[in-house]
Structure 1
Amino acid sequence: MTRTDRLSHLVAGSRSVHPQAWQGKVSPWLLGLVVAAGAAGSWWWAQHRTGADAPAAPAAATSGAQPGGPGGSGGRRFGGSDRPQPISVGTVRRQDVRVSVQAIGTIVAANTAVVKAKVDGELQALRFKEGQLVKAGAVLAEIDPRPFQIALAQAQGQLARDQAQLKNAQIDLERFRDLLSKDGIAKQQVDTQAALVQQLQGTVQSDQAQVDNAKLQLSYTRVVAPISGRVGLKQVDLGNIVHASDANGLLTITQVQPAFVVFAVPDTHLPRINAQLKAGTLLPVQAWDREQQHRLAEGQVSSLDNAIDTATGTIKLKAQFANADGGLYPNQFVNVRLQLDTLPDALTVPAAALLRGAQGTFVYVVNRDKTVSVRRVVAGPGDGERVSVQGGAPDALQPGDTVVTDGVDRLRDGAKVEVIVPGAADAANRAASGAQSGRHGKHSAP
């Protein structure tokens, strides 16, 4: 039933229910106007329903070229099958290649000393700054010396008294011996006096030891550095009573010149390391930061552990660094590169050019006709951004060959390529922008 029919039915129903109300109140022209409005509404509703139910146009009809086609974005990115593939290249060359082993190491101090007070007393002065470098024998702190000065004076007084008694006994002994030679005294008395002299000599020696001990205790009131190195943070403050039994002591000194790094390498390298050390050959070691971006120091292997760690299958080595600038700190984490050997005049390619597939490692070589060909190689030790390689005849790599380093995703043997010079695209864009700006300037000129 259309909308017009429904409206007519409604009007007819209303008239049938209230026939008296409609008579004389609804004019014919008003009824015609209602019927016309209903017909117009029905037409509008039918038209809009038809447009909504119509099938959507295919995306391909309005989107232009298909992706990957000549006019699509895929075609602009990868190019058609007849367009050369843009690539970046590197050069094959010969150079000395260092055979290195990488490991993780920790910096350790050559010596570490916990400086403690040797006598008990009040801490009166600190003669150092935290973190500074000190020499062995430098005064670091002072303890109240007065009790030890008094003890020294007492020992010296005791020594002086006993020395006087010894001297008097020695004079009496000489006098008794003279009388004995004249038969003026008994020999027993002379012997008794000689024994007294020896007794007093022992007393004087004991007193002298007491004096020396008092001087030593007094010297301990000046705390000195036992080794040269860097001073740590203080453990006590001025005015505190320090004791020789304090566990933490006054401070800690670490000797960082030279410094050492302890690291572990797989035991498979042990025969070569032993051979190098027995021959007296220096094994260079480099210490790098956590990100391996900055080289911190260079040194050499100084010692080798006496046993292999069975849990990890590694052996520990210790390398020595001069650390003249003091840049290495104990317990610092470093990346270690141990150089085991050097391959002289080895054939190398950029590390980015080396590819790995189901049949082994290979590189793409750029030919003179701007095509690429696959060359299978055997990778050797790497040194930085280059890797040593070996290739078999008859297609072995030669120094000066050009290999692909970037853009290998869609390459195949015999594909055409176009070498992109780094920075050339940016220069071209800048030149085009400059020319366009010049044209705009000319057009805007009066």
Structure 2
Amino acid sequence: MPILTHSPLAARHAQSGAIRGWTLATVLLAALAAGAGIGWWGKGQSSAAAAAGTPASGASAPGAPGQGGPGGPGSRRFGGANRIQPVSVQAVRKQDIRVMVSAVGTFAAANTTIVRPQVSGVLQALQFTEGQQVKAGQQLAQIDPRALQASLAQVEGTLARDKANLDNARIDLARYRELLSKDAIAKQQLDTQEALVRQLEGTVKAGQANVDSARLQLSYTKVSAPIPGRVGLKQADLGNVVSPGDSAGIVTITQTRPIALVFSVPSSQLPQINAKLRAKQPLMVEALDRNGNKFLARGQVATADNAIDLSTDTIKLKALFANSDDNLYPNQAVSVRLQLDTQSDSMAVPQAAVLRGSQGFYVYVVSAENVVSTRVVKPGAADGDWVAVEGQLEVGEKVVIDGVDRLRDGAKVEVIAADPRQRQGATGGGRRRGGGSGAPGAASGAGPGAAPAMPGASAPRGERSGKAAAGASAPRTAVAAAAGGDERPAWLDRLPPEVQEKFMKMNKEEREAWIAQRRAERAKREAAGN
């Protein structure tokens, strides 16, 4: 009988063989589990797609039975016959539509003046605040007056002396006349005295003029505003010697109440504009910021230019704005909307609803059964976001304003809110563990039209193990189907608006990576929960 020895080397060989056997069995079991998970995941995707009225991702490939090629009835991009397209709608209504003409204009001050001193001297005081509104005649600055005061005193003294000489000459003239009546003096002496009086009267008048001139020069040391308006930044500092020859002056005043807006419109509008002006009917003008988004002020056309610009075939108009809040500035460029007329009680639809195709302009109308049909319309004047239309439309009918790029006549649609923040699930309400109460289909996705859950979202505990395996081992093609390519996945509406916007900006590869990462995070959470 052979003797069996239990050597350490033999033990290690036996242990290694057992480990290899166990490892092989583990790999086989893991592969079977992964395959089962992939099958379960694909079945779940098909079930969710069927519940949502959406064909499974594998059925949307070009050439699949009953689907057709790209652009066919079953095309994934353009929506299959059973696909429900989410759209936003708005009702047709009747309203007043303003006939507007758009232009670009520039504000200009009604009057602009540079305040310069009229006498030379040292600037002693500035009596205004930069940017304030001033009145005509309001004192703005003070120039040193002492030199002009001395000149005034000098001419006043000269005038007083001349007046005294004149008074004395007049007294002598009266005496000479009395003596001549008594034949006590010669007539020549009286004539000489009369000439002297007239000479002194001229001297007094010249002296008085010198005094008035000196007083006027002295008054110029108080610099006043020649017009009402808004002062700008000061151009001279205290202590500077200013003079009438200074080009910048002391400060600039612009008259901005009212302020004028100059803009050009096509000359074809001139007859209608002239008719309004002659009839004294107001032509209202709206000023908006340069991008045309923010309303600034409303004014009225004052006059039109006297000639048409041949180079542009336009006519210049001037409108006046009260500008009581000083919100408008000279040389400010703005967008202009001139209201020429008002179309009362017009059929109107949002501008986003009007499309253009081979048949002309048309809109998509959603019926009570959520089926769209095309209606040919003739658009008219546009007022803001609304446009007047003519066509077979009724007030209250709902037209599609969002989601029109994938629609076809006769397609089935689902109406959702135009604002992403108001859509279902946008507030972050998620599923409850154990299938908590809620609206049918809102949490489980089993209701009609429900969308599959977002990849990576939490699921009930009973579903975790299978979904974790599917999320961890799903093939790349399955992830690409969930990413949706250029389509908007239905489950995306359950996410916050900022996440929706971020996802839709991704390309296909980035979406696949994003979904795979969410699933991996969900698998980790579920594994930690178990």
Q: CA deviation at 1:350?
A: 0.8
Alignment of 1:71 with 2:49, yes or no, is no
Q: CA deviation at 1:326?
A: 0.6
Distance 1:308-1:420 versus aligned 2 partners, 3 A rule: same
Structure 2 CA distance for aligned equivalents of residues 424 and 222 of structure 1: 64
Q: CA deviation at 1:92?
A: 0.9
Structure 2 CA distance for aligned equivalents of residues 197 and 368 of structure 1: 112
Q: Hey, what does 1:103 align to over in structure 2?
A: 103
Structure 2 CA distance for aligned equivalents of residues 427 and 111 of structure 1: 58
Structure 1 CA distance for aligned equivalents of residues 342 and 459 of structure 2: 61
Q: Hey, what does 1:277 align to over in structure 2?
A: 277
Q: Deviations over 1:386-429 (max 9, x none)?
A: 000011xxxx1111111111112222222222222345974346
Structure 2 CA distance for aligned equivalents of residues 276 and 269 of structure 1: 11
Letter in 2 for 1:177: R
- Which is worse superposed, 134-143 or 161-170? 134-143
Q: How does 1:352-367 map to 2 (within 5 A)?
A: 352-367=352-367
Structure 2 CA distance for aligned equivalents of residues 199 and 429 of structure 1: 103
Letter in 2 for 1:435: R
Q: Hey, what does 1:31 align to over in structure 2?
A: none
Q: CA deviation at 1:190?
A: 0.9
Alignment of 1:83 with 2:83, yes or no, is yes
- Which is worse superposed, 272-281 or 74-83? 74-83
Structure 1 CA distance for aligned equivalents of residues 407 and 459 of structure 2: 44
Distance 1:235-1:170 versus aligned 2 partners, 3 A rule: same
Contact 1:366 1:402 in 2 (8 A): yes
Q: Hey, what does 2:133 align to over in structure 1?
A: 133
Asked which structure has the greater CA Rg, the reply is 1
Q: Hey, what does 2:432 align to over in structure 1?
A: 435
Distance 1:297-1:432 versus aligned 2 partners, 3 A rule: closer
Q: Hey, what does 1:327 align to over in structure 2?
A: 327
Distance 1:327-1:221 versus aligned 2 partners, 3 A rule: same
Distance 1:153-1:365 versus aligned 2 partners, 3 A rule: same
Alignment of 1:414 with 2:400, yes or no, is no
Structure 2 CA distance for aligned equivalents of residues 117 and 403 of structure 1: 68
Q: Hey, what does 1:12 align to over in structure 2?
A: none
- Which is worse superposed, 433-442 or 209-218? 433-442
- Which is worse superposed, 179-188 or 169-178? 179-188
Distance 1:98-1:306 versus aligned 2 partners, 3 A rule: same
Q: How does 1:304-319 map to 2 (within 5 A)?
A: 304-319=304-319
Structure 1 CA distance for aligned equivalents of residues 134 and 332 of structure 2: 21
Distance 1:437-1:274 versus aligned 2 partners, 3 A rule: farther
Q: Deviations over 1:226-258 (max 9, x none)?
A: 111111111122222111111111110111111
Q: Hey, what does 1:288 align to over in structure 2?
A: 288
Q: Hey, what does 1:232 align to over in structure 2?
A: 232
Structure 1 CA distance for aligned equivalents of residues 406 and 460 of structure 2: 44
Aligned residues: 380
Q: Hey, what does 1:199 align to over in structure 2?
A: 199
SS of 1:183's equivalent in the other structure is coil
Q: How does 1:333-372 map to 2 (within 5 A)?
A: 333-372=333-372
Distance 1:180-1:344 versus aligned 2 partners, 3 A rule: same
Letter in 2 for 1:309: D
Q: How does 1:254-273 map to 2 (within 5 A)?
A: 254-273=254-273
Letter in 2 for 1:236: A
Distance 1:420-1:118 versus aligned 2 partners, 3 A rule: same
Structure 1 CA distance for aligned equivalents of residues 363 and 372 of structure 2: 10
Q: How does 1:26-175 map to 2 (within 5 A)?
A: 70-71=56-57, 80-175=80-175
Structure 2 CA distance for aligned equivalents of residues 115 and 321 of structure 1: 25
Q: CA deviation at 1:283?
A: 0.2
Q: CA deviation at 1:324?
A: 0.6
Q: How does 1:380-419 map to 2 (within 5 A)?
A: 380-391=380-391, 396-419=392-415
Q: Hey, what does 1:16 align to over in structure 2?
A: none
Q: Hey, what does 1:46 align to over in structure 2?
A: none
Structure 1 CA distance for aligned equivalents of residues 231 and 434 of structure 2: 64
Letter in 2 for 1:400: G
Q: CA deviation at 1:212?
A: 0.0
Q: Hey, what does 1:44 align to over in structure 2?
A: none
Contact 1:70 1:80 in 2 (8 A): no
SS of 1:435's equivalent in the other structure is coil
Q: CA deviation at 1:121?
A: 1.4
Structure 2 CA distance for aligned equivalents of residues 306 and 145 of structure 1: 49
Distance 1:294-1:214 versus aligned 2 partners, 3 A rule: same
Distance 1:430-1:235 versus aligned 2 partners, 3 A rule: closer
Contact 1:78 1:85 in 2 (8 A): no
Q: What RMSD over aligned residues (CA atoms) do the two structures have, in Å?
A: 2.8
Letter in 2 for 1:84: I
SS of 2:306's equivalent in the other structure is coil
Q: CA deviation at 1:364?
A: 1.1
Structure 1 CA distance for aligned equivalents of residues 425 and 121 of structure 2: 80
SS of 2:309's equivalent in the other structure is coil
Q: CA deviation at 1:85?
A: 2.0
Q: CA deviation at 1:109?
A: 0.6
Q: CA deviation at 1:270?
A: 0.7
Letter in 1 for 2:414: E
Q: Deviations over 1:289-339 (max 9, x none)?
A: 123222111110011111111111111111000001011111111111110
Which sections of structure 2, spanning at least 5 residues, go unmatched?
A: 1-37, 47-53, 61-74, 437-457, 462-527
Q: CA deviation at 1:106?
A: 0.7
Q: CA deviation at 1:80?
A: 3.8
Letter in 1 for 2:209: A
Q: Deviations over 1:175-213 (max 9, x none)?
A: 011111111111111111111111110110000000000
Q: CA deviation at 1:359?
A: 2.5
Q: Hey, what does 1:22 align to over in structure 2?
A: none
SS of 1:369's equivalent in the other structure is coil
Distance 1:372-1:192 versus aligned 2 partners, 3 A rule: same
Distance 1:286-1:429 versus aligned 2 partners, 3 A rule: closer
SS of 2:150's equivalent in the other structure is helix
Q: Hey, what does 2:66 align to over in structure 1?
A: none
SS of 2:432's equivalent in the other structure is helix
